[in-house]
Homo-oligomer: A and B are copies of this chain.
Amino acid sequence: MADARSFNHLSGTFVKVSTPAHGPVNAFHEPFWTELGQVFDKISQEPTVRAVVLGSALPKFFSAGIDFSALSFPNNGSDPARSALQLKRHILGFQDCISAIERCPYPVVVAAHGYALGLSVDIISACDVRYAAANTIFAIKEVDVGLAADIGSLARVPKVAGNHSLVHELAYTGRNFSAAEAEKMGFVSRVVEGGRDQVTAAALEVAKLIAEKSPVAVAGTKHLLLHSRDHTVRENLEYTAVWNSAMLQTQDLMDAVKAAQKKQKPKFGPLGSKL
């Protein structure tokens, strides 16, 4: 069983979330990803959090992906239709756990290192900012076990990166790709020399920077960027006008302007009482 405490080290204005060790390769089984979703849904309700860093506690593996040996497929005997209805619900539940990262109102910075295979890519693509250690080895591995990736890689990687040709190649072949290739295709924004510790330090640094900003502005920015990804420019502009019609009434804006006039760094309160 995963260690719940290690998921949720609240510390002032940021949170370090580490996937706990599950065997030597950090493989995922159902209780593990269920817990991942619950931890992120819990973080989402913490009004003092400002940014989240997601990393792995193991030195060599971000995660080896799903532990297929621990997987039991729903089975409804001989009726493929009834089996399909069960499987659909199962997949939707699984997706929902990983999408907890996306629906978390705070930016999530992921620090990848070592082997980051299969489900790792689904998880990493649901984060906001992606940093990779130079030693990271990624793979969209699902095709090698006879299935199309269904937990988010095919939904999100083509949208967050900028080279569909490479995304298709990687998804069809399941081959390993390096941090450098991930950066070239626009999947990660920074490759950090070294391994786990170096990339985690870099991720914490950017998370701290984010944590100093107005939480109203940061939460709005995440919300509107995700809306932008899934809507036209016109729809997004109109939605943004409605969103900011409430958000521009925030005290943070006045505080920021006043601090600017005094050439001081502004300080912003948390998002408030329990969300």
Interface size classification for chain A: 35 or more
CB distance from A271 to the nearest CB of B (A): 6
Decide yes or no: A76 and B272 within 8 Å by CB, A241-B91, A245-B91 being known contacts: yes
A3 within 8 A of B: no
In the complex, are the beta carbons of A169 and B206 less than 8 A apart? yes
**Which residues of B have CB within 8 Å of A231?**
232
Interface centre among A95, A172, A214, A244 (most CB of B within 10 A): A172
A210 within 8 A of B: yes
In the complex, are the beta carbons of A189 and B217 less than 8 A apart? no
Partner of A161, one of B162, B174, B252: B162
**Which residues of B have CB within 8 Å of A238?**
92
In the complex, are the beta carbons of B165 and A86 less than 8 A apart? no
In the complex, are the beta carbons of A249 and B168 less than 8 A apart? no
- What per-residue 1/0 map shows which CB atoms of A109-140 lie under 8 Å from chain B? 00000000000000000001110000000000
In the complex, are the beta carbons of B188 and A165 less than 8 A apart? yes
- What per-residue 1/0 map shows which CB atoms of A205-243 lie under 8 Å from chain B? 010011001101111111111001111111011111111
In the complex, are the beta carbons of A251 and B79 less than 8 A apart? yes
Footprint of B on A, CB under 8 Å? Answer: 51, 68, 73-74, 76-89, 91-92, 95, 99, 102, 105, 107, 128-130, 142-150, 152, 154-156, 158-169, 171-175, 185-189, 206, 209-210, 213-214, 216-225, 228-234, 236-257, 260, 266, 268, 271-273, 275
In the complex, are the beta carbons of A244 and B163 less than 8 A apart? no
**Which residues of B have CB within 8 Å of A74?**
273
